[in-house]
A = this chain, B = another copy of it.
Amino acid sequence: MNGNVVVIGAGFGGLQCARSLARTPFEVVLIDRNDYHLFTPLLYQVASSLLNPSDIGYPVRSVFRGVPNVRYRMGDVTRVDLARRLVHPSDGPAESYDRLVIATGASVNFFGQDAIAAASHTLGDLPNALELRNHVLRCFEAASTTADPAARATWLTFVIVGGGPTGVEYAGALAELIRLVAGRDYSTIGRESVRMVLLEGQDELLPAFPVSLGAHARGRLTRFGIDVRVGTRVEGVRDETITLDTGERLDARTLVWAAGVQPSGLVRSLEVAKRQSGRIAVDAYLAVPGCIGVYAIGDAAGCIEGAAELPMLSAPAMQQGRRVARNFLREARGQAPRPFRYRDKGIMATIGRHAGVAKFGRLALRGFPGWVAWLVVHLYFIIGFRNRFAVLSLWAWNYFLHDRPIRFVVRAAPPKT
């Protein structure tokens, strides 16, 4: 049997695919630049001093410990040779495949605006989330030292661009952090001197949700003291001044970009047919037309269901990873593969303490029920008991004591080779 499977990416889709192939006759190589699977929906909690990296990361090698047919390899895949069926990591030998699963996820999209890219903090991966955490705390330190009121106001202005779940959840968590530290850990910085602005280009927050839930989120965030602007975009950034399309200028040391994602660099570099979104145009079996044995899943795959592409969420990625793996097994048994069908599990977002929005089919939850739904689903899906326990205890700590034990700046030492 032609059993070499290479899976690129250990995110929700790739990890699920490799797990579904564990202890089967396939020889699986799982490649990722990071040796951990990241529970990305909670990255914003790392960025807002609530969780430790190890609470939302899980070592990939531990997942496949004792699984003889799945091998993890640390590496950045820079090139795929579709003709010779070879995957080239940035160092070390190439891996040959009979079947390739592209599960490389998404990266931040600045839509070509380099000045914004250079000035922005992002929430796309663990290093950047940690950098943002350090940065916000440094802003408070700098503001508490400076004597210049204008400089102080610039340090204490936080602009978040993007009113999707990432922007909304980070804004809510940042507001909570600020409520915790302003006037307490930083006794000279009153809450009223901190300014938070959340910008969304479309007419309401959470455009993927029913408009009533977006309006609910906007109301909650406004009550948290956040200046929420819908229908407003960033035009440009220069020095510490952010210009909006309304002509207004905001002087801020912090610009958090949560306004767009795009498929990974590897997908962008592949010469295969793409959707307008940049995602690979896969067929109903998630196969890449014209490339024998090549499949794409998750954020990398532009999978059409009904009229639109499936959203870039963990649920479709995981279901696709499982579908692809099962089809490999069906084919190995001589059975016909089955087309992928997405089972919609709903979407949700949290907005700080006690508030959340969730949509399950026709059911829309908001406020406390939405928050509880969010809590249950997120706890359930975090991999591994240890993380679930640690996350729960930190959440409980935060919830009951209104505190965050992790709020200090951990500088990074440059790696030595």
Contact = CB atoms under 8 A, between A and B. Distances in A.
Interface of A: 34-36, 52-54, 57-62, 65-66, 68, 73-75, 91-93, 119, 121, 126-128, 130-131, 134-135, 137-138, 141, 144-147, 181, 184-187, 253, 384, 386-387, 389-390, 393, 397, 403, 405-417
Contacts of A75: 145
Nearest to A66: B184
A403 B186 CA distance: 39
A134 B121 CA distance: 23
Given A146-B92, A185-B61, A410 B127 contact: yes
A161 to B, nearest CB: 15
A68 B187 contact: yes
B73 A185 contact: no
A75 B386 CA distance: 36
A405 B54 contact: yes
A343 to B, nearest CB: 31
Contacts of A384: 405
A350 B39 CA distance: 35
Given A127-B412, A131-B412, 10 more contacts: A36-B408, A52-B53, A54-B408, A61-B185, A92-B146, A121-B416, A131-B414, A384-B405, A386-B397, A386-B405
B127 A413 contact: yes
A61 B121 contact: no
Given A54-B406, A92-B146, A386-B397, A413 B128 contact: yes
B184 A65 contact: yes
A93 B390 CA distance: 41
B130 A412 contact: yes
A389 B60 CA distance: 27
A260 to B, nearest CB: 19
Contacts of A410: 53, 57, 126-127, 130
A145 B91 CA distance: 9
Nearest to A67: B187
Given A54-B52, A54-B406, A92-B145, A185 B135 contact: no
A411 to B, nearest CB: 5
A251 to B, nearest CB: 15
